[in-house]
């Protein structure tokens, strides 16, 4: 077996392929630029290509590359201790060593640039203009049907009455948020059957609302991140944004989500105290129990003003609590991922990665691409079967079995 056959990386290796020089389309040039090969020519799998295709915003590829360079500063392949030495030169990139982003992306802040609060409000206003109007229509139809049934079959519901329309809206909101206070309940066969179907559709609507709220929350985080990145680094922006990885810190995400939960529960506590005339203890207890959709039914909204408030408040506080726990779950997963990504590469890791590598024609060598795929598989981001399908499709173009595909250049 000659040297070229031994040194082929996961999806290809060094080899001579004649460059094609026909006219190319703009899409070809864009692809070459995306994979870090602006001159075109030979397309192959490389660590740089994998990093570019994942995007500059991903910190995983940056961490992989930094770890690989610490172990192997001269190349992209690491010899496994079962065969001899081998190195493949790596391509240099014009990046900032601290931020790991292209140096050309750093620009001075214009003198007339809006302040961070103004920029946040502007972008949020633009975001809410384009929100899902279909979801708003679903919510309107949901409440309309519920109120119509409640008004037409009011005698089939039992509970304290205030205003028929307000009571209908309150019943719909309690059902939608799965609070289950039990202060308004169906008593006939028809209304019980209707409530079952109504609650099922409510879960579907609630899921859509949660998705929209999560989208808006993350857009808010993106706006905050962009505003902080465009202005000089200070103690305040460092606490919010991780400038090295260009992302909002997870602790800030958790804190901001908790602020929403706290805000809605303070409003609920004050309303129960001043409107429903409960004690401070019962008001706080009722607000928290309602926001977590426990709904024991011992503390409920009994006045018309209180129920009209609960019609809106229940939905907002329920979604804020759900979003808070989503962010908490993300924080826990992020901690586990960081432990995996930042741990030192050991010989055991390399040997295990070599076991699952796809290109068995290179016994004894592990490329950076092999190790990246192994770690992504360990993180659960990809499945090895999916990678095998991708490699199989690539090999259909690799007719000469060099591991490379010629790309047209000018």
Q: Is 48 exposed, middle or buried (0-12, 13-18, 19+ CB in 10 A)?
A: buried
Domain around 37:
3-109+344-407
Q: What local confidence, expressed as pLDDT, does residue 89 receive? A: 39
Together in a domain, 140 and 222: yes
| Highest mean pLDDT pick, 96-110, 155-169, 335-349, 376-390 | 155-169
pTM attached to this predicted model: 0.64
Together in a domain, 124 and 87: no
Q: What is the mean pLDDT of residues 377-385?
A: 83
**More confidently predicted of 118 and 23:** 118
**More confidently predicted of 144 and 404:** 144
pLDDT at 216 over 60: yes
Among 311, 363, 7, smallest CA distance to 173 is for 311
Domain CATH for 158: 1.10.287.70
Question: Could you tell me if 32 and 39 are in contact, meaning their C-beta atoms sit under 8 angstroms apart?
Answer: yes
Together in a domain, 191 and 159: yes
pLDDT at 47 over 90: no
Q: How confident is the model at residue 71 (pLDDT cuts 50, 70, 90)?
A: low
Together in a domain, 196 and 149: yes
Q: Which residue has the tokens 């079967």?
A: 385
- What distances in angstroms separate CA 116 from CA 109, 137, 183, 310, one per listed residue? 12, 33, 46, 34
Domain termination residue (choose one: 216, 231, 246)? 231
Together in a domain, 154 and 217: yes
Least confident stretch, 110-124, 153-167, 195-209: 110-124
Q: How confident is the model at residue 147 (pLDDT cuts 50, 70, 90)?
A: very high
Q: What is the mean pLDDT of residues 180-187?
A: 94
Together in a domain, 160 and 199: yes
Among 245, 294, 283, 288, smallest CA distance to 264 is for 288
Together in a domain, 124 and 215: yes
């Amino acid at each position: 077996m000659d040297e070229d056959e031994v040194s082929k990386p996961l999806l290809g290796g060094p080899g001579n392929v004649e460059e094609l020089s026909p006219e190319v389309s703009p899409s070809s040039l864009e692809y070459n630029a995306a994979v870090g090969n602006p001159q075109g020519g030979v397309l192959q799998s490389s660590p740089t290509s994998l990093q570019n295709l994942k995007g500059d915003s991903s910190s995983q590829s940056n961490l992989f590359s930094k770890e690989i360079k610490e172990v192997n500063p001269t190349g992209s392949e690491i010899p496994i201790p079962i065969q001899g030495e081998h190195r493949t030169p790596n391509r240099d990139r014009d990046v900032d060593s601290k931020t790991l982003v292209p140096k050309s992306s750093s620009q001075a802040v214009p003198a007339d640039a809006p302040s961070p609060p103004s920029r946040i409000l502007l972008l949020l206003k633009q975001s809410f203009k384009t929100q899902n109007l279909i979801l708003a229509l679903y919510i309107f139809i949901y409440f309309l049907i519920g109120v119509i049934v409640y008004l037409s079959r009011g005698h089939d519901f039992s509970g304290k009455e205030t205003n028929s329309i307000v009571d209908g809206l309150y019943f719909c909101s309690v059902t939608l948020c799965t609070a289950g206070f039990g202060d308004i309940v169906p008593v006939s066969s028809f209304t019980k059957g209707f409530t079952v179907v109504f609650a099922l559709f409510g879960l579907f609507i609630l899921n859509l609302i949660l998705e929209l709220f999560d989208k808006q929350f993350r857009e808010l985080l993106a706006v905050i991140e962009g505003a902080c990145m465009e202005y000089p680094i200070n103690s305040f922006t460092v606490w919010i944004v991780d400038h090295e990885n260009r992302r909002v810190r997870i602790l800030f995400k958790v804190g901001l989500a908790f602020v929403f939960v706290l805000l809605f529960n303070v409003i609920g506590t004050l309303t129960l105290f001043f409107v429903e005339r409960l004690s401070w203890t019962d008001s706080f207890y009722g607000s928290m129990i309602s926001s977590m959709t426990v709904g024991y039914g011992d503390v409920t909204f009994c006045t018309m003003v209180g129920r009209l408030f609960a019609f809106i408040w229940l939905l907002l506080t329920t979604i804020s609590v759900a979003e808070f726990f989503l962010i908490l779950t993300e924080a826990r997963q992020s901690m586990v991922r960081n432990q995996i990504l930042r741990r030192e590469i050991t010989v055991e890791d390399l040997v295990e990665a070599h076991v699952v590598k796809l290109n068995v024609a290179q016994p004894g060598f592990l490329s950076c691409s092999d190790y990246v795929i192994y770690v992504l598989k360990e993180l659960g981001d990809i499945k090895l079967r999916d990678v095998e399908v991708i490699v199989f499709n690539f090999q259909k173009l690799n007719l000469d079995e060099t591991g490379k595909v010629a790309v047209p250049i000018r």
